[in-house]
Amino acid sequence: MFTLNKIASQRGVALIIVLWVLVLVTITVGSFSVSARTENLQARQLLDGSRARFAAEAGMAIAVLNLRNPDVANRWVPDGRRYELQFEQAKLEISITDERGKLDINVVDELTLISLLIANGVAEERVLPLVAAILDWRDPDDAVRIDGAEADEYASADLPYGPRNAPFVILDELQQILGMDFELYRKLEPALTVYSRRRTIDPAFAPYEALIALPGMTADIAREFINERQTRDNTGDNTLLMPDGSAVAMRSIGPTQSMRIKATMPSGIWEQLEVTISLSSGGLQQAFQIMRWKEGVWKS
């Protein structure tokens, strides 16, 4: 009897051990399966991300070709309108803005800067100090304007740099202006450039943020103007009227263009590029030169 009970007890222990081994094997196999699935998803994401990146770069070349399309009726218009097309498996969304439609931060005058800031919702008490700081940054002297900022003011703000006292080299430099924050910079960025070297904007290509800085322009009029402008193409009567009655007509594009390109794969993985290019007057072997390049940036 004692022997039978002992055998039964040993069998019970063996059964428990077997069950625990089965549980451990199940957990191990499950962990391996999850790990394999995770690695597969990561590999898929990496692959789709690479494909999206190359598709976005292809979108840049497609945009250049369409800007130079000899068929005027089908030539793309660089006024910020969005073009959508399919490139292999990727859906491309491309918008182009002629830099002549933007205010050049290196030559824009004080009154226009003031209008730009006010129109884009900058608080009144910040406007004049920001404008003065921008002008102090780009002028060649160390004289401080009223409410402006030169080396001493930057030092007092514990900043490890001072004004350039020379023209802005890249637009991102505007973020270093005393009193400027990233949120305001991103709001003003679509309206500004360092490439046009024009004192005025070309309304035929101007983005909303630049248009509302013009005299007599309101937010509603600017939106209506853009909506009307984007119904026009390169053919027929494409003349539009400004609030002051002056005529605006789309004409040949300028040498410098900014592009926003988003490539989305069927899986939902996407890549984004924001580039500024200078179009070449030469052959297709050197169709354009890249002036500015950003990745992962998109503003609807």
Positive/negative CA dihedral, 76, 59, 192, 230: positive
Position 247 scores a pLDDT of 84
Position 37 scores a pLDDT of 66
Position 4 scores a pLDDT of 55
- Are 91 and 264 spatial neighbours (Cβ–Cβ below 8 Å)? yes
Domains and CATH numbers, the chain: 1-102+247-300 (3.30.1300.30), 105-188+204-246 (1.10.40.60)
The rounded distance, in Å, linking the Cα atoms of 102 and 200 is 8
What is the SS3 string spanning the chain? Answer: CHHHHHHHHHHHHHHHHHHHHHHHHHHHHHHHHHHHHHHHHHHHHHHHHHHHHHHHHHHHHHHHHHHCCCCHHHCCCCEEEEEEEEECCEEEEEEEEEHHHCEECCCCCHHHHHHHHHHCCCCHHHHHHHHHHHHHHHCCCCCCCCCCCCHHHHHHCCCCCCCCCCCCCCHHHHHHCCCCCHHHHHHHHHHEECCCCCCCCCCCCCCHHHHCCCCCCCHHHHHHHHHHHCCCCCCCCCEEECCCCCEEECCCCCCEEEEEEEEECCCCCEEEEEEEEEECCCCHHHCEEEEEEEECCCCC
Position 38 scores a pLDDT of 64
**CA–CA distance from 273 to each of 94, 157, 264, 296 (Å)?**
10, 34, 12, 6
Mean pLDDT in consecutive groups of 10 residues from the start of the chain, 300 residues: 56 71 73 63 77 94 92 90 95 97 96 95 95 97 95 96 96 96 95 93 94 92 92 76 80 90 94 92 71 75
Position 6 scores a pLDDT of 55
Q: Which residues of 40-53 are buried (b: 16+ CB within 10 A; e: fewer)?
A: eeeeeeeebbebbb
Position 26 scores a pLDDT of 75
Positive/negative CA dihedral, 246, 250, 256, 258: positive
